[in-house]
Structure 1
């Protein structure tokens, strides 16, 4: 009898050992791999009792170097979203996020998680849940995962849990993960918190045992209330510490009663919900005065020593790059058309007095500065309003391209001598080659910026991205563009100010009229480029409307010139004809609308299968790029636009040359076109991820490389050969 009992006990033990993994598996779902993450639903306990609340969670193992986002993703990104399918009566709570950390990306800062984050959720069973049953929880989860690029991923996860009569014990697989996850969760309470508005900026007061020399940072729960990348100055108080925050564009102290989020103090994180209060008297921002009424926290105060703070040193470096890049813009293909106009101006200046030459130099500089500040101010305002646009955005509009084409056409007709204009109407930049020219100098500066703006020259990618980043104050962005404008104006300004250079200019003579007429053909060549650009943006219908507008513009210019040579009724009638033609031109331009998209342009330029004479082109998309990288395929990305002359010069002189095309095919490199000719938010995000706000930008992804190689903005055969030499 005893032996049979031992046999039964042994059988039950073996059965329990066999069934135990199955029981444990009920508290952990099957893992789902999505390319850059492995995700599971887990439960802290092996079952749930009627009316009980237990913790479940989404556990992820992220690919090295990749991150997902906190509830407030910071400057960019998207938080985790879960759509639940639950048994009747079961309920889930909000997602409890682990402690975030700052993820810098160029001038931006995101808030997110790396490694193995666990997102915890409370699950409550109804009090009438029948015991003995097994319930299934289904989560449709979506998240954005990023490294040097961002990929939206999703997974459907199912977790089975038994409903038990009494609270179940810890699950063998899930409980250790929750125990580890608890070490990365913010603590509840710990000190009192309040906030107030100080001159339009939020100030957070924390009362408790806090070391002001610790590394302290506030992660706001609400999006766009506090600037993620801005410095948070820390000052010691009698009760604790005070944090001076920078407001974001959604900051409204009148409607913000509670400022909640997480404060991290070194490795510790504490949830807070700061209520609004009145500002105490005598509060000043650290470094705002020379007094010692406020003590700054470690690493966050402004130094009173002779060494400037890091942010000041960085700003000076940015301004230096902007100035140097502005100078180089004078020899970039983008500005070639205006260089021709300036050449005519310099030739004409030789016969002017010294005072006139100096005056024209300053007026031309003023025109450049006004244009830079106007475009930059408009761009900063639109981006603050949520628009995803970058430098050169004005030429993403086909109507703007058409108007620009009309202006260039008029410049050419004027230089060719079809009509003459006085200094009072030289505002289109066409009077530089005429006598007089105060307004001509000013508006030629405007024209120089108009054609320079579409492209980002050498050294300008970082300054432009810095100036347009969300965390920079508007005046800093405008300062960067003003310095860039000074660089662009410098050569002409030096000629105006240094007598020796001015004296070296050629002597005036009859040759100047011929020179003017020759320069008109440079304008007509620019016109061809603009017509081609508009065709890519607005299709054949837009092309026809532009050609009609150009025909009417030419007729108006001819009629205006005729009126200048006629007297009496004939001259009046000619001016009426010119005005009527201008009205027809405006009507034609109003009908131009965007038609083509980026993918259409890239697809149209793609070679046929087996065609080794053309680049193996694909249209840019984040998903396609990720697929190619997962397959180990090297990828060269050309961030370009039809209106970017530098881009087109690189393409025609380097990228489409047979020796470079052969390298693409021999090395198996995919040529990916991110065409920004028309507005494309996905491409705008990709540019911003690289800290850029304009084109050209060239990236090369070698197989297995975690980060792309950024190539110079002016390409050469040697650069391409060296880039592909790693393959």
Structure 2
């Protein structure tokens, strides 16, 4: 279900681009593209992997998308062209922001962002020395969807050189690296439970938190695998997050990134039914049915004591038990 939802979402984005060709061509010939990309080495991990910063700069008013783009969009992606023996890990996304386009909610970045990719050598286990310079440069294709009043897909071929980048880039990398989500913990932030509940005619999932950072919860960004949410209705506050659902079919688990005043935390939990009793689409359908039966019974009883119905009650009783004369005739005939 999730896979089909994402496919349909991507197709809708490109159909919108095809439907508005005049807006697209209005931006393409006008000089530089609205997004520029480059890569630079951040440093080596203790395990010997090379951490790479993927730097995107957006013109004013333009934005690119997080790993879960929201109601529509496409996340930034990178495809490395590496020599034999070298592999790249998945792209790491810092905590995003939220932007609205009409009634659609999107998650991503404006102005600029540094994403992170890690390159590992086949012999990197236990080593801390740098990669030999002769393996450089590494090349990659970075792709994105940039949106403002209209959307333009873009890409760039980037080249990673050996050496130390400018201090300015390293400072940017440090800032954005501090926004990478970390695993939640009982001391900082812990998701105690995720409960499915019904409020009026809508279903929602309520997340309850504890820990030192729980009182400073500011936002929640659902993971790409979590669908069926009304993203425009997400609400976050001290020690809780509320996720309204678009239907009565609730997901079995919830996962995402919680933003607090002190950082970003990855959380995950199975969704529990409320302890007070059944809920969900089955119970919400049974309750109106039982109420209808109750009202029908009460209405039938009232109808039987109405003045216009009273004379008929005697005829109904006689038809059920029969008259004395009829019983006598039957007895005589039997003799």
TM range (shorter): 0.5 to 0.7
Contact kept? 2:91, 2:115, Cα under 8 Å: yes
Contact kept? 1:69, 1:113, Cα under 8 Å: yes
Q: Partner residue of 1:207?
A: 210
Q: Which runs of 5+ in 2 are unaligned?
A: 1-30, 125-129, 278-335
Report Cα offsets for 1:468-496 as digits up to 9, x if no partner: xxxxxxxxxxxxxxxxxxxxxxxxxxxxx
Q: Partner residue of 1:232?
A: 235
Structure 1 position 105, deviation (Å): 1.8
**Which of 267, 273, 283 is residue 273 of structure 1 equivalent to?**
267
Whole-Å separation in 1 of the counterparts to 2:219 and 2:210: 15
Contact kept? 2:223, 2:256, Cα under 8 Å: yes
Q: Which runs of 5+ in 1 are unaligned?
A: 1-32, 163-169, 284-727
1:472-621 alignment runs, 5 A limit: none
Q: RCO greater where, 1 or 2, for CA within 8 Å and sep 6 or more?
A: 2
- Compared CA separation, residues 38 and 104, structure 1 to 2 (3 A): same
Q: Partner residue of 2:292?
A: none
- Compared CA separation, residues 95 and 136, structure 1 to 2 (3 A): same
Whole-Å separation in 1 of the counterparts to 2:248 and 2:67: 17
1:152 matched to 2:153: yes
Report Cα offsets for 1:85-143 as digits up to 9, x if no partner: 11111111111112111102222221110111011112212217974523232111110
1:177 matched to 2:172: yes
1:36 matched to 2:34: yes
Contact kept? 2:213, 2:262, Cα under 8 Å: no
Which structure's residues are more often helix, by fraction?
A: 1
Whole-Å separation in 1 of the counterparts to 2:108 and 2:131: 40
- Compared CA separation, residues 59 and 243, structure 1 to 2 (3 A): same
Whole-Å separation in 2 of the counterparts to 1:92 and 1:218: 28
Whole-Å separation in 2 of the counterparts to 1:208 and 1:224: 27
Q: Partner residue of 1:192?
A: 190
Secondary structure, counterpart of 2:233 in structure 1: coil
**Which of 238, 241, 246 is residue 243 of structure 1 equivalent to?**
241
1:80-95 alignment runs, 5 A limit: 80-95=76-91
Report Cα offsets for 1:339-384 as digits up to 9, x if no partner: xxxxxxxxxxxxxxxxxxxxxxxxxxxxxxxxxxxxxxxxxxxxxx
Contact kept? 1:197, 1:279, Cα under 8 Å: yes
Whole-Å separation in 1 of the counterparts to 2:34 and 2:120: 31
Contact kept? 1:93, 1:122, Cα under 8 Å: yes
Whole-Å separation in 1 of the counterparts to 2:58 and 2:248: 32
Contact kept? 1:76, 1:110, Cα under 8 Å: yes
- Compared CA separation, residues 227 and 40, structure 1 to 2 (3 A): same
Q: Partner residue of 2:110?
A: 114
Contact kept? 1:87, 1:136, Cα under 8 Å: no
1:240-389 alignment runs, 5 A limit: 241-248=239-246, 252-253=250-251, 256-257=252-253, 259-265=254-260, 267-276=261-270, 278-279=272-273, 281=275
Contact kept? 1:262, 1:269, Cα under 8 Å: no
Whole-Å separation in 1 of the counterparts to 2:37 and 2:247: 35
Secondary structure, counterpart of 2:272 in structure 1: coil
Contact kept? 1:226, 1:251, Cα under 8 Å: no
**Which of 92, 104, 109 is residue 96 of structure 1 equivalent to?**
92
Contact kept? 1:232, 1:245, Cα under 8 Å: yes
Aligned residues: 232
Whole-Å separation in 2 of the counterparts to 1:134 and 1:105: 44
Contact kept? 1:195, 1:277, Cα under 8 Å: yes
Structure 1 position 215, deviation (Å): 5.9
Whole-Å separation in 1 of the counterparts to 2:263 and 2:104: 22
Secondary structure, counterpart of 1:261 in structure 2: strand
- Compared CA separation, residues 56 and 65, structure 1 to 2 (3 A): same
Relative to the length of structure 1, the TM-score reads: 0.29
- Compared CA separation, residues 51 and 268, structure 1 to 2 (3 A): closer
Structure 1 position 281, deviation (Å): 3.6
Structure 1 position 260, deviation (Å): 1.9
Whole-Å separation in 1 of the counterparts to 2:249 and 2:273: 17
Structure 1 position 63, deviation (Å): 0.2
**Which of 72, 83, 98 is residue 76 of structure 1 equivalent to?**
72
Contact kept? 1:50, 1:126, Cα under 8 Å: no
Superposed CA RMSD in Å reads: 3.0
Whole-Å separation in 2 of the counterparts to 1:82 and 1:263: 25
Q: Partner residue of 1:138?
A: 139
Contact kept? 2:258, 2:267, Cα under 8 Å: no
Secondary structure, counterpart of 2:162 in structure 1: strand
Report Cα offsets for 1:577-616 as digits up to 9, x if no partner: xxxxxxxxxxxxxxxxxxxxxxxxxxxxxxxxxxxxxxxx
Contact kept? 1:50, 1:125, Cα under 8 Å: no
Q: Partner residue of 1:681?
A: none
Whole-Å separation in 2 of the counterparts to 1:224 and 1:250: 13
**Which of 211, 217, 222 is residue 220 of structure 1 equivalent to?**
222
Which structure's residues are more often strand, by fraction?
A: 2
- Compared CA separation, residues 67 and 127, structure 1 to 2 (3 A): same
Structure 1 position 263, deviation (Å): 1.0
Contact kept? 1:80, 1:141, Cα under 8 Å: yes
Structure 1 position 172, deviation (Å): 4.0
